[in-house]
Chain A
């Protein structure tokens, strides 16, 4: 019986049919390659042109140089702008994370009158176009005779980041098993100790994620910043203003560095998570 199976010839499928079957199965994978390439084109371009020996205007390729990377602050104002963006980002992250986490705990953990209205209030800033957020805040500052500048920008950034922090932390809180906190109390931890030793460590990744999100939203923000910063320069604003006369290659250097830095942080975070699980 088995020899009969061994002797039977394996049917060969014609090449055309094999190809179309392979193609059908891998269609999505091929699409992914195209899709990711599309996503990375401007990034690659920016990176490539950071090596351009361009002088003031980085439009045409003039020659390869490491000079821009060796002297990233060479263009006037660029490092001041970058410094402002980082300072604002850190301040906005700290405040929005604290305020947002508190709100997330309140909404995610407790039943109280006005809970659904609170959800709505958090959702509204995310549903409002940036231009309206920026313009309305500017109007308010003008009414109170506050000049746009550094602190109004920080305030504006905190304002639009809080909602994102709330949503991120709330999601993490929702996935927390309430029985863990009950177990902690059962094991002689009072409310404060339970929060400190069980709740907070378990929510921490969500808070960290929210902080990272807040920082990246703040750092990359242009529209709201534009309305509330007055003469103070941030990095995105610098690029926008410079676009008219020519963006120095140093901007590409800084942009690419941010890309690699952020990529490194995320990859490191993934590795830490995997190590923790082991």
Chain B
């Protein structure tokens, strides 16, 4: 029970600075992005000069021109999310149930690698998996890999990099959810004739669903918009939509297209996320 102060509207006072900030620097930019996305370059003007023409064709063109990258982004993000879930779930489970007094240390160790700069880690992978590393030459010598095949500059490397980089975002929510499970429910399941696998399937997994939902969202959303892994570990053939948007801002100056692409990406993610949440049935995420 919270005690209400009589006259002053305390909650609104507290909210005001933060929300004013968010409105100015989050909502407003998105609105501005929307109105940029329907502009066209001024005929005869310099680069970077546009006029508002409500050209919704920008969206159509942007999508059609880049549908390959869109598809690729969502495929990579989905794959990375699935792999991250597969790797993180047993890890989170082990920490939650099988680590005894080392629990806190292990949690720190899960997060610790990510104190090194994300770029340094990704570049480290590039070098480990690249021509100069020791893995590829060794595999080639053992004839497990062809002389022409590489790991870097492939979609495999990009997805692997994404999986690695988003692992803590998947592990921590999973751990939080698994940790909350009352171990006595698992005991009760055994008492009611379920073996270990059935218990896992019918008790543990359903009870950990909130963590699974949170983890997959926290992984998929940034992964879909990522471009750094693709830039470092990939090749021009593995370009994701993020790379396209970045180049439309900095290399080929084309703000309306970039804006349209950003919006399309955001809309696509929002739709997928809403459908996913509806299906998974979790309302309170924050």
Contact = CB atoms under 8 A, between A and B. Distances in A.
State yes or no: do A and B touch (Cβ within 8 Å): yes
A155 B25 contact: yes
A74 interface: no
Nearest to B12: A112
B112 A240 contact: no
B132 interface: yes
B285 A45 contact: no
B11 A28 contact: no
Interface stretch (A1-9, A15-23, A64-72, A100-108): A100-108
B270 A135 contact: no
Interface in A79-100: 98-100
Nearest to A60: B132
Contacts of B128: 41-42, 45
Nearest to A138: B249
A216 B115 contact: yes
A55 to B, nearest CB: 15
Nearest to A266: B108
Contacts of B32: 136, 139-140, 143
A111 B2 contact: yes
A51 to B, nearest CB: 14
Interface in B12-53: 12, 14-15, 17-19, 21-22, 25-26, 28-30, 32-33, 36
B207 interface: no
A33 B245 CA distance: 39
Given A167-B286, A178-B2, A270-B108, A46 B228 contact: no
B216 interface: no
B269 interface: yes
Interface in B160-219: 164, 167, 217-218
B90 A139 contact: no
A133 B120 contact: no
B72 interface: no
Contacts of B93: 28
Contact of B286 (A112, A123, A191): A123
Given A42-B121, A45-B128, A135-B259, A129 B115 contact: no
A236 B15 contact: no
Contacts of B109: 36, 39
Contacts of B252: none
A103 B266 contact: no
Given A28-B93, A135-B33, A181 B3 contact: yes
A258 interface: yes
B62 interface: no
Given A110-B10, A140-B28, A222-B118, A263 B2 contact: no
B110 to A, nearest CB: 7
Interface in B211-256: 217-218, 221-222, 224-228, 232, 242, 245-246, 249, 255
A263 B14 contact: no
Nearest to B48: A142
A267 to B, nearest CB: 7
B265 interface: yes
B91 A263 contact: no
Contact of B120 (A178, A252, A267): A252
B17 A99 contact: yes
B108 A130 contact: no
Contacts of B119: 222, 236, 239-240, 243
A139 B273 CA distance: 26
A251 interface: yes
10 cross-chain pairs, A with B, having the tightest CB-CB distances, nearest first: A129-B225, A262-B115, A42-B124, A136-B29, A99-B18, A106-B14, A110-B11, A140-B29, A239-B119, A136-B33
28 contacts: A31-B91, A32-B95, A35-B90, A38-B87, A39-B167, A42-B113, A42-B122, A102-B17, A105-B14, A110-B2, A112-B9, A112-B11, A118-B19, A125-B22, A129-B225, A131-B246, A132-B30, A132-B225, A132-B266, A135-B33, A139-B259, A140-B29, A216-B115, A222-B228, A243-B126, A255-B116, A256-B116, A263-B108
